[in-house]
Structure 1
Amino acid sequence: MRSKVLVVYGTTNGSTAQIAEAIADVLRKEGLTAEALPARSVTGLEPYDAVVVGGGLYAGRWHKDARRFVRRHARELAGCPLWLFSSGPLDASASERDIPPVPGVRRIMIRLDVQEHVTFGGCLEAGARGFIARKIVSSGKGGDFRDFDQIEAWAGRIASELVRESPRT
């Protein structure tokens, strides 16, 4: 059984971290050991059996911490079950249809034989860091477009797949 799962994330304003925590919560409820950590804080993958990596989308690119994590740990990631998620559209589109990964994430998927990628809606609210983020919010185009039912369902599928790999006794 793949029992210990690492959920790492790259985020600027914290909404991707909340998605990662929700994923880890579902995995724990399904009997797995899971922890969510900022991508920049992870130094090794040895204790983990599977990994989920998430990154916020900024101007069509995955968050730099998520990109750096994958680059730094590519050899280890190539040998374990790996799922990716992105968060970012500031509208309901991610709940209405599948949104393909941005080109950089697509390259990672091919190189590392990723199980699955999904894009979730993003969240940008008052108090956001960064000039552009503040401009988006002040223009009325911010908001919380995360669909936690969708996020939890996806995490449940990951848990099912990991539990299914467990040998029968």
Structure 2
Amino acid sequence: MLSNVLVAYGTTNGSTARIAETIAEVLRKKGVSAEAVPARSVTDVESYDAVVVGGGLYAGRWHRDARRFVRRHGRALAGRPLWFFSSGPLDPSASERDIPPVPGVSRAVARLDVDEHITFGGCLDEGAKGFIARKIVSSGRGGDFRDFAQIEAWAARIGTELAAESQRS
């Protein structure tokens, strides 16, 4: 049974971590053992049956920790059920339409035969780290655009796919 799932994420201000934790929580409710772990902390993926990788988007690129995770564990990831998510737009667009992955993520999706990629809205609030992030917030363009109903539905779909895969095995 595909019952042990890693949800690895790269985040700067914690918004993507909250998404990853929500995904893991939904998977656990579906009867799957799942844990959300910062991508930079993962040393090995061998003990996981499936992996979800997420990264915040910064200047058109996935968070550095997510990029490094995929490079470091690429061979092991290629042999497992694998999903990617991005977190980024600071507007409601991610809830209104499908936003394709940024070019670097798109290449990894093709190279690793990722089951699916989705882009969720981002969150940038007061106290954000980084000069540019603080400027975005102070200009009034920050806010929380994460759609947790969308995130939970996507995670539930992954749980359903894992259950179906287990029945085929």
Say whether the fold is shared (TM-score over 0.5). Answer: yes
Question: Whole-Å Cα distance in 1 between the matches of residues 74 and 96 of structure 2?
Answer: 32
Aligned residue in 1 for 2:68: 68
Aligned residue in 2 for 1:96: 96
Number of residue pairs the alignment of both structures matches: 169
Aligned ranges 1:19-58 → 2 under 5 Å: 19-58=19-58
Aligned residue in 1 for 2:13: 13
Amino acid at match of 2:147: D
1:126-155 C-alpha deviation (Å, 9 max, x unpaired): 000000000000000000000000000000
Amino acid at match of 1:85: F
Question: Whole-Å Cα distance in 2 between the matches of residues 134 and 65 of structure 1?
Answer: 21
Question: Whole-Å Cα distance in 2 between the matches of residues 130 and 2 of structure 1?
Answer: 39
The 1:132/1:168 distance shift into structure 2, 3 A limit, reads: closer
Secondary structure of 2:35 counterpart: strand
1:97-134 C-alpha deviation (Å, 9 max, x unpaired): 00000000000000000000000000000000000000
1:27-70 C-alpha deviation (Å, 9 max, x unpaired): 00000000000000000011100000000000000000000000
Aligned ranges 1:140-159 → 2 under 5 Å: 140-159=140-159
Aligned residue in 2 for 1:129: 129
* Distance apart, 1:24 and its partner CA: 0.1
Question: Whole-Å Cα distance in 2 between the matches of residues 166 and 49 of structure 1?
Answer: 10
Question: Whole-Å Cα distance in 2 between the matches of residues 122 and 167 of structure 1?
Answer: 35
Aligned residue in 1 for 2:162: 162
* Distance apart, 1:167 and its partner CA: 2.9
Give percent identity, aligned residues only.
78
Question: Whole-Å Cα distance in 1 between the matches of residues 129 and 168 of structure 2?
Answer: 49
Q: Unmatched 5+ residue regions in structure 1?
A: none
Question: Whole-Å Cα distance in 2 between the matches of residues 40 and 101 of structure 1?
Answer: 21
* Distance apart, 1:166 and its partner CA: 1.4
Question: Whole-Å Cα distance in 2 between the matches of residues 80 and 61 of structure 1?
Answer: 24
Aligned residue in 2 for 1:118: 118
Q: Unmatched 5+ residue regions in structure 2?
A: none
TM-score by length of 2: 0.99
TM-score by length of 1: 0.99
